[in-house]
Amino acid sequence: MTAHITVFLVDDHRLFRTGVRAEIGTRVHVVGEAGEIDTAIAGLRRTKPDVVLLDVHMPGGGGREVIQGATEAGLHDTKFLALSVSDAADDVIGVIRAGARGYVTKTIGPDDLVDAIRRVHEGDAVFSPRLAGFVLDAFAGSLPDDLDVVDEELDQLTAREKEVMRHIARGYTYRETANRLHISIKTVETHVSNVLRKLQLSNRHELTAWAANRHLL
Amino acid sequence: MAASPWRFRRATDDRLLLGVAGGIGQRIGVDPLVIRIALVVLTLAGGAGLVVYGLGWVLSEDAPPGTAPSEPATLDLRQAAAVGLVALGLTLLLRGAGLWFSDALVWPALIAGTVSAVIWTRSGPDQGSRGRLTESTPARMVLAAVLTFAGLVSFWLIVPDPRRVVVPLAGILVGGGLLVTPLLARIWRNLEAERSQRARQAARDEVAAHLHDSVLQTLALIQRSPEHRRAVTLARTQERELRAWLYGDRELNGPGRSLAAAVDDLLVDVETGYAIDVDHVVVGTVADVDADPHLPALLKATREALVNVAKHAGVDHASLYVEVEDDRVTAFVRDRGRGFDPVSVGDDRHGLRHSIHARLQRHGGGARVTTSPDGTEVECWVPLPEDHDGDHDGDATEAADADVAVDPSDPRPLHHTDVATEATP
C-alpha cells in the first residue's frame, strides 16, 4: 500500500539513518540518504523523491536550507516531513514555515512513521501532539493591537480548528478526533491542513516572537 | 508613648539630623519628608524653622534603647497637602510680618525643595530607603536637585548682574554633577551586567547545541529499540532531565517553578517509578506553580491518574495535555488501555475517589472520567485565581466543556462518571 512511495532520508546521524532505513525500508521505497545539506540537495535533484524525512538540525544549517534548496531546484511535488529530537519551538515553527508538511519526533515508532509518510504523501498535514500544542500556544489570545495589517482569516484559528488541535494535543488520532466531534475524517484533515497553512503564512508577530522567546520544551 | 500630648520620641530609624522631624512625623502620622520641607521653608522665612526645630528637640525625648523601629508613616496625599498648606500660610504670614530673607532666595529654595520632594517620593522603594545625607543615593539625588533648581531659578532672577552669576552657576554644576554621576554609574553597571549575561547565555547555547547534536540524538536512538524496556525508560528520563536543563525556563522566571517545569518534574518522577512513557504537551504558562493555591493539587491528581494508567490499564504509554485557560487549568490524562468499570472498582482502590475526585473538589475543581474498552481519559481541573499571569486571554473555555459528550457512535458499554462540581468563588 505504501511500497510505491519514494523516500529520501536527510539526517547527519548515520546511525539514525541506518536504523530508520531498516525499520521502514520494506514498507516504503527508500531511494537515498544524505548527511549534509549540499549532498542532500544534490540527491534530491537526482532522485526526485515523493517524501523527504528531514532532520531539523544539521551542522551548518538545517531542514530549512534543504527545503529552500529543493524549492529552488524546482522540486515542487516533493513533500517534507520534519523529524527532530529537540522540540524547540523556534526550530519546529521555522521548518514548518519553510514548507514542511508535518513534524514528528525522532522517538516515533516505525508504524506511526510509515503512516505519517503516507499521509504527507497524500497531501495531508501531520501534526504531532507537541506541534498541536505549539500551534495553540502561538495562536492563543486576542490579536495584538499594534499589528499593522491584520488578516483575520490567517491570524486566527476558528473555534473548530482549535478544538481539533486540542484533541490532537490530547493524543487523539485524526479518526478519533473525527468521531468525538461528529465530523468526517476528511473534515479533520481539512482543518489540520488549514491550520498548517495559517502557520506557514500568518504574519502574526506573536508567532515568531513567541517562538524566538521560547527555548523551553 | 509619652504621657503629655506634646511630648514625643525622636526617631532613631528615620532621621537626617536629630530625628526631630521623623519623631513629629511619626507622632502625627505624616511623612517626615513633609515635616522636613515645612521646616526648611520656615527656616528660609527668617529662620522660623530653626526655632521650631529647636523647640521640637527640647519637647521631645530620646527613644528608650531597644524600642522596635516604628512602621514608617506612609505619605497620605491629603495630610501632605494639609501640612504643605499650613507651611505656605505660615510662610506668607511671616513674609507679611517682615521676617523674611529675600524673594530671590526663598522662592527658588521653595521650588527646589518641592521638586526634590517629588523626585524623592517618586523614586522606587529599592532606592527610596531614606537615610543620612552622606550615605544614600536618594539623598544625593535630592541634594543635587535642590542645588540644580536653586541655581537655575536664582540664575533666572538675577541674570542682569554678571558678578552674581558665579554662585548659582556653581550650584547648577555641582548639582548636575551629583545628579548625573550615579546615573552614569548605574547605566555603566547595567551595561556590564548585560554583557556578561549575554556571554553566559552564549556559552550555554553552545553547550546546548553540542549536547543536542550528540547526547540527545543518542538518547532518541536508544528509545527506538523497544526490546530493551529498561534502557528505553532510562534514556527517556535522562532525555527529559537534560532537556529541562538545556531549554528550561527555571532561572528565567525567578524562584518559582513554571507550569512546564513542574510538569517535567512530575513526569520524571512518574516515569522513574513506574513502567510508563508519557507524551506531554503544555499550553499556556503559570509563572509560579507552587505559589498557586490549587495547582499543586491538580498536579497531584494528575500524578495519581498517570500512576493508575501504569498500574491498571495494561499499557505502557499515556498522553498528558495541560492547558491554562482564562479561569482554570485543565489536565487530560489519556491512555489506550483496557478501560474499567468505575462502579465495580474495589474499595481497595481509593486512588480515583480520594486522590483525584475528593482532592480536586476540595479545591473548587473537579474530575471527569471517560472510559471504554478503547481506553480511558481522566480530565482534571482546578480554578485559576483571577489575577493569574498566564499568557492566555483566549477563548479556550467552551471547547473543554463541550468534551463532556462521549462517543455516541460507539455501541460498546461506556462509563462516564462526572463529578463536575464547579465551585462558584
- Please report residues of A whose CB lies closer than 8 A to that of B334: 170-172
- Please report residues of A whose CB lies closer than 8 A to that of B213: 12, 57, 59
Top-ranked range on mean pLDDT: pick from B133-137, B282-286, B303-307:
B303-307
Lowest mean pLDDT segment, chosen from A46-60, B133-147, B376-390, B392-406: B392-406
Distance CA B275, CA B287 (A): 30
Beta-carbon separation of B323 and A180 below 8 A: no
- Please report residues of B whose CB lies closer than 8 A to that of A212: none
Top-ranked range on mean pLDDT: pick from B41-50, B107-116, B357-366:
B357-366
Asked whether B382 and B364 are in contact (CB, 8 A), the reply is yes
Beta-carbon separation of A169 and B398 below 8 A: no
| pLDDT, mean of residues B361-390 | 84
Chain A interface, best mutation among B214, B253, B281, B336, by max A CB count within 10 A: B281
Which pLDDT score is estimated for A213?
A: 55
Domain boundaries, chain B: 20-192, 274-418
Is residue B226's pLDDT more than 90?
no
Interchain CB contact of B393 with A (< 8 Å): yes
Is residue A184's pLDDT more than 90?
yes
Q: Which amino acid is at A173?
A: T
Per-residue pLDDT tens digits for A37-86: 889 999 999 999 999 999 887 776 678 889 988 888 888 889 999 988 76
Question: How many other CB atoms are there within 10 angstroms of residue A67's CB atom?
Answer: 24
Report domain A6-123's class. alpha beta
ipTM surpassing 0.95, yes or no? no
Per-residue pLDDT tens digits for B329-340: 999 999 998 887
Beta-carbon separation of A109 and B396 below 8 A: no
Beta-carbon separation of B224 and A106 below 8 A: yes
Which pLDDT score is estimated for B184?
A: 82
Chain B interface, best mutation among A128, A137, A164, A184, by max B CB count within 10 A: A137
Is residue A210's pLDDT more than 90?
no
Beta-carbon separation of A85 and B398 below 8 A: no
Report the DSSP beta bridge partners of residue B34.
Answer: none
Interchain CB contact of B284 with A (< 8 Å): yes
Superfamily of domain B274-418: Histidine kinase-like ATPase, C-terminal domain (3.30.565.10)
Distance CA B334, CA A48 (A): 40
Which pLDDT score is estimated for A118?
A: 93
Interchain CB contact of B58 with A (< 8 Å): no
- In a 13 Å sphere around the CA of A74, the CA atoms on its Cβ side amount to 2
Q: Which amino acid is at B424?
A: T
Top-ranked range on mean pLDDT: pick from A43-47, B129-133, B395-399:
A43-47
Q: Quick one: residue A87, left, alpha or beta (phi over 0 = left, psi -120 to 50 = alpha)?
A: left
Q: How far apart are the CA of B20 and the nearest CA of chain A, in angstroms?
A: 53
| pLDDT, mean of residues B135-148 | 67
Chain B interface, best mutation among A86, A91, A130, by max B CB count within 10 A: A86
Lowest mean pLDDT segment, chosen from B137-141, B263-267, B361-365: B137-141
Domain boundaries, chain A: 6-123, 133-213
**In this complex, which of A59, A137, A162 lies closest to B399 when CB atoms are compared?**
A162
DSSP-assigned states of every residue in B266-313: HHHHHHHHSS-EEEEEEES--S-GGGSSSHHHHHHHHHHHHHHIIIII
**In this complex, which of A107, A166, A216 lies closest to B249 when CB atoms are compared?**
A216
Q: Confidence band (pLDDT; 50, 70, 90) for B176?
A: confident
| pLDDT, mean of residues B270-281 | 86
Lowest mean pLDDT segment, chosen from A31-35, A173-177, B283-287: B283-287
Q: What is the dihedral of CA A69, A70, A71, A76, to 10 degrees?
A: 180
Element housing A53 (H / E): strand A51-55
* Domain A133-213: which CATH number of 1.10.4160.10, 1.20.1090.10, 1.10.10.10, 3.40.50.300: 1.10.10.10
Nearest residue in chain A measured CA to CA from B251 = A216
Q: Which residues of B360-387 are buried (b: 16+ CB within 10 A; e: fewer)?
A: bbebbbbbbbbbbeebbbbbbbbbbeee
Distance CA B345, CA B40 (A): 81
Nearest Cα to Cα of residue A80 among A41, A109, A107: A41
- Please report residues of B whose CB lies closer than 8 A to that of A172: 334
